[in-house]
Amino acid sequence: LQGYVASVYNLVYANNTASLKIWDQLGFTRAGLISRAGWMRRTDGDGEESVDAVVFWKGLSLISDE
């Protein structure tokens, strides 16, 4: 594993529920929440809104301490 002990996935916007579910199912841990990480178009199409983001990580060791 070239000395790496964990993998961090940059972020997933909190309104992307399908992607959050996939990362959870793959065994990644939610490391934290970045409040108002980005601006996205509102679902009703009326302007933009700030959206939180989740950072994921997963240990790479064969014997996990997670």
Residue 54: its pLDDT value, please? Answer: 97
Q: How many helices (H) and strands (E) are present in the chain, helices listed first?
A: 1, 3
Q: Around 12, how many Cα atoms within 13 Å sit in the side-chain half-sphere?
A: 20
**What tens digit of pLDDT does each residue of 1-37 get?**
467 888 888 899 999 999 999 999 999 999 999 999 9
